[in-house]
């Protein structure tokens, strides 16, 4: 397995923080800044990129230097260029890890990789969320206790229209009476994907110690064990054994 640290790129829509002073007060360096800072605490170097940069900061060159991409989007999913989405998707198929956060269940890139629309029931009344660890021995849960709380948070409730995940890591309990699969892994091509539910822009979720630990663990887990090259292609293969009777 890889010895070197994963090269992480944190992508953020970065619109709320520039338009809404309440969000800016919580995330003065942007949500991407808070996430990168949390990774730094856990010994991971991370670069950042945002929607309004050229090519959304997701050029071929930028992706070529990325082992794991973290994605946060919410109000501007439609502004993400389809060509960039496809570029990211092909890089995931080729082995890059992807961590989709919170409302990124509705991001083009996540829905394209899942095949479904990943719809969910939601409520932004600000309530208590308690994340229970279902897979205590999974690398993504390393160092956590049996559960941790976030308060307040937005609610996402089942049914959550994702394909059956490969592994279920977290289940969330909400004060208002709902539950949701809040930490799920998927494989697409050679790439490992982790969806993690928390992180509404109006709450300081990405400063939370448990959340930061989860994200650092997830970056290490999603980092490819292979050299990321090209997405697989349909290929003619010659017979190894003689054909015919």
Write out the binding residues for a second copy, residues 1-60 only, by CB under 8 A. Answer: 1
Q: Which of 24, 47, 76, 130 binds a second copy (CB under 8 A)?
A: 130
Q: Which stretch binds a second copy (CB under 8 A): 18-26, 36-44, 135-143, 195-203?
A: 135-143
Q: Is 76 in the site for a second copy (CB under 8 A)?
A: no
In DSSP terms, 148 is beta-bridged to 131
Q: What's the min distance (Å) between Cβ of 82 and a second copy?
A: 12
φ/ψ region of 43 (left if φ > 0, alpha if ψ in -120 to 50, else beta) reads left
Q: Which is nearer to a second copy, 27 or 174 (CB)?
A: 174
Q: Which is nearer to a second copy, 24 or 157 (CB)?
A: 157
Subset of residues 192 to 211 that bind a second copy, contact rule: CB under 8 A: 192
How far apart, in Å, are the Cα atoms of 164 and each of 116, 149, 178, 184, 185?
Answer: 11, 25, 19, 9, 9
Cβ–Cβ under 8 Å, residues 163 and 118: no
In DSSP terms, 155 is beta-bridged to 123
Q: What's the min distance (Å) between Cβ of 234 and a second copy?
A: 5
Q: Is 83 in the site for a second copy (CB under 8 A)?
A: no
x/- map, 145-184, a second copy, by CB under 8 A: -x--------x-xxxxx-xx-xxx--xxxxxxxxx-x---
Subset of residues 93 to 122 that bind a second copy, contact rule: CB under 8 A: 93, 95, 106, 112-117, 119-122
Joined together, the tokens standing for residue 190 give 């050679």
Q: What's the min distance (Å) between Cβ of 180 and a second copy?
A: 8
Cβ–Cβ under 8 Å, residues 119 and 215: no
Cβ–Cβ under 8 Å, residues 152 and 126: yes
* 131: exposed, middle or buried (Cβ count in 10 Å: 0-12, 13-18, 19+): buried
């Amino acid at each position: 397995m890889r010895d070197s640290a994963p090269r992480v790129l944190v992508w953020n829509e970065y619109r709320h923080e520039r338009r809404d002073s309440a969000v800016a007060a919580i995330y003065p360096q942007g949500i991407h800044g808070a996430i990168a800072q949390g990774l730094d605490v856990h010994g991971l170097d991370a670069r950042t990129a945002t929607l309004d940069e050229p090519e959304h900061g997701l050029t071929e060159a930028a992706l070529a230097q990325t082992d794991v991409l973290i994605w946060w989007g919410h109000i501007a999913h439609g502004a993400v260029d389809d060509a960039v989405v496809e570029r990211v998707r092909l890089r995931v198929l080729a082995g890059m890890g992807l961590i989709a956060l919170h409302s990124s269940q509705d991001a083009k890139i996540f829905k394209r990789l899942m095949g479904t629309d990943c719809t969910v029931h939601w409520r932004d009344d600000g309530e208590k969320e308690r994340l229970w660890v279902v897979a205590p021995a999974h690398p993504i849960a390393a160092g956590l206790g049996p559960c941790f709380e976030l308060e307040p948070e937005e609610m996402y409730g089942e049914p959550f229209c994702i394909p059956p995940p490969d592994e279920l890591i977290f289940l969330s309990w909400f004060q208002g009476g709902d539950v949701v699969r809040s930490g799920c892994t998927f494989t697409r091509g050679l790439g490992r994907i982790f969806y993690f539910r928390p992180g509404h822009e109006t709450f300081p979720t990405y400063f939370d110690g448990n959340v930061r630990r989860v994200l650092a663990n997830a970056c290490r887990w999603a980092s490819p064990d292979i050299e990321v090259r090209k997405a697989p292609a349909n290929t003619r293969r010659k017979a190894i054994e003689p054909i015919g009777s």
